[in-house]
Amino acid sequence: MIISLYNIFFKRKKYSLILFIFAFFYFSNKANAFVLKKEIVKLFNDTTKDWITTPRLQSDSSNNIANKLLTTDSLYIQNWSNEAVFVHQNKTIAQLPPKIEIALVDSVNKFQLTWYGKLNSKYGARWGSMHKGLDLYLRTGDTVVSAFNGVVRYAKFNSGGFGNCVVVRHTNGLETIYGHLSKIEVAVNQYVQAGELLGLGGTTGHSTGPHLHFETRYMDFAIDPEQYYNTQTGTLLTSTLVLDRDQLNSTRYPTVSVVKHRRGKSARSRSSSKSTSKSRSKTVATKKHITTTKTSSKKGSTKKKTAVKRKK
């Protein structure tokens, strides 16, 4: 047998080498196919995992953030109500610090323009009352988004004039109000990010046409939104808003407006006008009295003259 193998491998090298290579590849492929089949079967039958995953969230992440803010953050715990637009009635302007610094944007909190139309009406005195927000043009059905990150505190129809209204309390301490919406797309106690949909524009409530009534408030004290961003370019003017307590409007609610102050002035002016009219009437009366006495004296003198003439 040894001699035969010697003859195959050494005497007939050409054919033996070809046969050896063929046998090698044939049996190696068979072995690889067997190993691969074994691995596939093992893969499908194996129930253990050797990778690491993060634990599954019990609920939506935005709900987790809202729950955390509403239970641990003092900003959201104090004076939190889903039934009223204004909730800081007991807070007086004297209780505020002389200087208030509010971080508008940082690495986490962003700012997003809440509308895409032109400015119809500015903040300030208007039509005999105080307009404590901006009126921004839009079409009915246009999207209205949140200006900053925060939690929706109020989201329903308001009979005080705002119509369908959303109030968002932000993580920087501000609250923004979105009024006259045609439809509300958020729920109370919902966490929203800057740029997230709040509702659709409309003309509900005390409105003369489709527009967004946008207010910015700190502890219910109204702030002119144009103090911190440019309405023409839609960009922030500063990353930190610095408020002076003396500059905040002490008459912070819509029911207390410039009208009452003007009425007070007009009442004072009326009283002063009454006094001036009385003095004027007195002077007129005295003038009349003087003229009557003069005419009566003239008549008396003429009568005396005629009597003297008759005697003559």
Confidence of residue 62 (pLDDT cuts 50, 70, 90): confident
Q: Are 71 and 36 found together in one domain?
A: no
Residue 113: inside a domain: yes
- Per-residue pLDDT, averaged over 164-192, amounts to 95
In the prediction, which pLDDT does 276 show? 41
In the prediction, which pLDDT does 178 show? 96
pLDDT of 88 above 60 = yes
Q: Cα dist. 95→86, 169, 244, 247, 252 in Å?
A: 17, 20, 13, 14, 15
In the prediction, which pLDDT does 84 show? 94
Q: Are 29 and 94 found together in one domain?
A: no
Q: Are 7 and 137 found together in one domain?
A: no
Output 191 or 18, whichever has higher pLDDT. 191
User: Which of 202, 248, 271 minimizes the C-alpha distance to 100?
Assistant: 248
pLDDT of 283 above 80 = no
Kindly give the residue spans of alpha helices, DSSP state H, lying in 9-112. Answer: 13-45, 61-72, 74-77
In the prediction, which pLDDT does 125 show? 76
Confidence of residue 259 (pLDDT cuts 50, 70, 90): very low
pLDDT of 13 above 80 = no
Radius of gyration of the chain (CA): 44
The phi and psi torsions of 67 (rounded to 5 degrees) equal -65, -40
pLDDT of 143 above 90 = yes
How many C-beta neighbours within 10 Å does residue 310 have? 7
In the prediction, which pLDDT does 187 show? 95
Task: Count the domains in the chain.
Answer: 2
Residue 202: inside a domain: yes
Q: Are 155 and 231 found together in one domain?
A: yes
Q: Are 181 and 239 found together in one domain?
A: yes
Tally of helices (H runs) and strands (E runs) in the chain = 5, 17
Output 308 or 126, whichever has higher pLDDT. 126
pLDDT of 282 above 80 = no
Instruction: Read off the CATH number of the domain in which 179 is found.
Output: 2.70.70.10
Output 266 or 208, whichever has higher pLDDT. 208
Confidence of residue 27 (pLDDT cuts 50, 70, 90): low
User: Which of 136, 103, 141 minimizes the C-alpha distance to 121?
Assistant: 136
- Per-residue pLDDT, averaged over 246-251, amounts to 69
Output 284 or 139, whichever has higher pLDDT. 139
CB 190 within 8 A of CB 146: no
Q: How far apart are CA 217 and CA 238, in angstroms?
A: 17
In the structure encoding, which two tokens stand for residue 116, read together?
């895409």
Q: Per DSSP, what are the bridge partners of residue 169?
A: 151, 175
Give 147-173 pLDDT, tens digit per residue. 999 999 999 999 988 999 999 999 999
Q: How far apart are CA 301 and CA 40, in angstroms?
A: 143
- Per-residue pLDDT, averaged over 41-58, amounts to 54
In the prediction, which pLDDT does 15 show? 58
In the prediction, which pLDDT does 245 show? 86
Q: Are 231 and 178 found together in one domain?
A: yes
Q: Cα dist. 61→57, 105, 190, 193 in Å?
A: 7, 21, 11, 12
In the prediction, which pLDDT does 131 show? 80
- Per-residue pLDDT, averaged over 215-224, amounts to 91
For the chain, percent of residues with pLDDT exceeding 70:
60
Q: Are 84 and 14 found together in one domain?
A: no
Residue 53: inside a domain: no
Is pTM beyond 0.85 here? Answer: no
Q: Are 34 and 108 found together in one domain?
A: no
User: Which of 221, 214, 106 minimizes the C-alpha distance to 168?
Assistant: 214
Task: Give, in degrees to the nearest 5, the angle at Cα 178 between 173 and 183.
Answer: 135
Q: Are 41 and 159 found together in one domain?
A: no
Residue 146 structural domain: 66-259
The phi and psi torsions of 294 (rounded to 5 degrees) equal -65, -45
Residue 268: inside a domain: no
